[in-house]
Amino acid sequence: MSNAESIAKRRTFGIISHPDAGKTTLTEKLLLFGGAIQTAGAVKNNKIKKTATSDFMEIEKQRGISVATSVMAFEYKDKQINILDTPGHKDFAEDTYRTLTAVDSVILVVDAASGVEEQTKKLMEVCRMRKTPVIIFVNKMDREAKYIFDLLDELESELDIKTRPLTWPIGMGDRFKGVYNLYDKNINLFQANKTKIAKDKVSMEDINDPTIDELVGEAPAAELREEVEIIEGVYEEFSREAYLSGDLAPVFFGSAVNNFGVEELLDAFCRISPAPRGRETNLRFIEPSDKKFSGFVFKIHANLDPKHRDRIAFLRIVSGKFERNKFYNHVRLEKKLKFPNPTSFMAQDKSVIEEAFPGDVVGLYDTGNFKIGDTLNEGENFFFKGIPSFSPEIFMELENLDPMKSKQLDKGIRQLMDEGLAQLFVQQPGNRKIVGTVGALQFEVIAYRLENEYGANCRFAPKSYSKACWVTSENDDQLNSFMRAKTVDLARDKDDNLVFLAQTPFLLQMAEQDYPDLTFHKTSAFKLEKEFN
């Protein structure tokens, strides 16, 4: 198969939602319909001792939430599907935002009863900013939900995007009969509590086919016809071009936990979603069809398999062909690296691959060479732009509860910081470790992983800082004066960059006024260009 054919068959997308909308459940059911797994259990039913395939960290299983991006791949109807299932909880939004740089389109899951929620709006803002094509899946139609036309109005007004239903629910809650496929003109009859795929679709010539009355009853059929008439009269015809430009979101309805409405979503996704897209660099735009290999690291995960202490860098391939055991240029380090065991993923299951193409996400075993945002290529001196970085909002001091495990604690916290879920600042004297995050739940995850993956017992004590700013200057005298005056509020990050931990916004403002030749960087994004140059 040629490179062009390999690129054309690939579809790489992320699944995003507000917590509890059913995102991880939908991911599992996509794997079911794709043949990657054979049965599926209800994720939140405690009687079923099977967790979602994508939630593989122990803390995720215990808490019932996703806190790390999972990567899964499978083939479906001549397409190579790459799913990136992201954390839904707002405290882990950083991971989700970075993951959105590695996908070409998005499926946004919305709870039919709750509608548009706060995290949904924030995620959609990122998609809109990047012009990422979005498909909306309205989930939990087997429960009582909002009036559907009101929900569509809410989607358009709150998410600032036009919508176009491609399937339509026949009733809701106890009256939910199934979905009518506006795209393919067929009906899929609803059955609850399915754990395997059932073939219940009935095709028809049009919405007036009397078969509909026989299948769902005369009253629901009449209501369906009336609603479809409204859809065809009010909503614009579906335009793939408008969808690909990020201006129109096709909408599907179903119940992911019951495997329902998922196949329609997956079939349409394969037909309308974009093939791998290129990415911007500091030099030029890189197209997938460019012959030379290039890619970027958007995620790092330590101890993906705790038994083997492996550290994996997730690389999104942008152009060319990646080959096992071939030397590639690590742009930031200016050194050649080769990878004898590059892997593809089915959640926690990994397999060694010989080659990969644009759109694929490859796991590279890493001994500490990679940072988030790093570029690999075949020798050209450029780096990919647009990997977001964040300034911490919550600060706590890491306290070691077992002095005999100091080495394990130090190693563990530094490896976890490389994943990008938090930032580490070390203050002197005393080598005190301050951890900064954007969400409080991250501290719980860090403490849990330090104990269970590194054997290091710790606790966190709150610190009264409001902002971390990286400080640079070409005026050495002014910089030294600042460092003498602010000794107690200074730290070094894990790359030994100087950081000012401002206790209040006012004190930060005063520092900026008193030291005009100093630059106070509000995020760590400047470090990539600094290291590159």
Compute CA distances 245 → 82, 268, 317, whole Å. 21, 17, 22
| Cα 496 to chain centroid, rounded | 29
Pairing of strands 335-337, 458-462: unpaired
Residue 26 CA to its chain's centroid (Å): 14
Question: pLDDT tens across 429-479, in order?
Answer: 888 999 998 778 889 888 988 998 889 999 999 999 999 999 999 999 999
Task: Find, among 304, 302, 283, 297, the residue nearest to 333 by Cα.
Answer: 297
Tokens 């089915």, located at residue: 346
Q: Quick one: three-class SS letters along 199-255?
A: CCEEECCCCCCCHHHHHHCHHHHHHHHHHHHHHHHHCCCCCHHHHHCCCEEEEEECE
CA distance 18 to 114: 10
Whether 481 and 509 have beta carbons less than 8 Å apart is answered as no
d(CA 326, CA 346): 24
β-strand pairing of 248-253 with 134-139 = parallel
pLDDT attached to residue 303: 66
| Parts of the chain with a pLDDT under 70 | 1, 37-70, 87-94, 192-200, 303-309, 346-350, 525-533
Whether the Cβ atoms of residue 295 and residue 364 lie closer than 8 Å to each other: no
Say what the pLDDT of residue 309 is.
Answer: 58
Strand partners, 12: 82
Q: What is the pLDDT of residue 510?
A: 95
User: What radius of gyration do the chain's Cα atoms show?
Assistant: 25
β-sheet bridge partners, residue 76: 79
The candidate with the shortest Cα–Cα distance to 467, out of 440, 501, 491, 511, is: 501
For residues 127, 128, 134, 136, the Cα torsion angle rounded to the nearest 10 degrees is 100
In angstroms, the Cα distances linking 118 to 110, 123, 161, 240, 374 are 11, 9, 16, 28, 31
* Strand positions, DSSP E, 284-408: 285-286, 294-302, 311-319, 322-323, 328-330, 335-337, 343-346, 349-352, 355-356, 361-365, 375-377, 394-400
pLDDT (0 to 100) of residue 67: 39
Spatial distance between the Cα atoms of 258 and 139, rounded to a whole number of angstroms:
10
Structural domains of the chain, ranges and CATH numbers in brackets: 3-272 (3.40.50.300), 279-377 (3.40.50.300), 394-532 (3.30.70.3280)
Distance CA 396, CA 388 (A): 23
> Per the omega criterion (within 30 degrees of 0), is the bond before 462 cis?
no
> How many Cβ atoms are within 10 Å of 181's Cβ, its own excluded?
21
- Give the model's pLDDT for residue 471: 95
Distance CA(249)–CA(273), nearest Å, equals 11
What lies within 8 Å, CB to CB, of 336 at 6+ separation is 327, 328, 329, 330
**CA-CA distance, 332 to 312, in Å (whole number)?**
18
pLDDT at 192: 61
Q: What are the strands, taking DSSP E only, across 47-132?
A: 70-76, 79-85, 105-111
End-to-end CA distance of the chain: 39
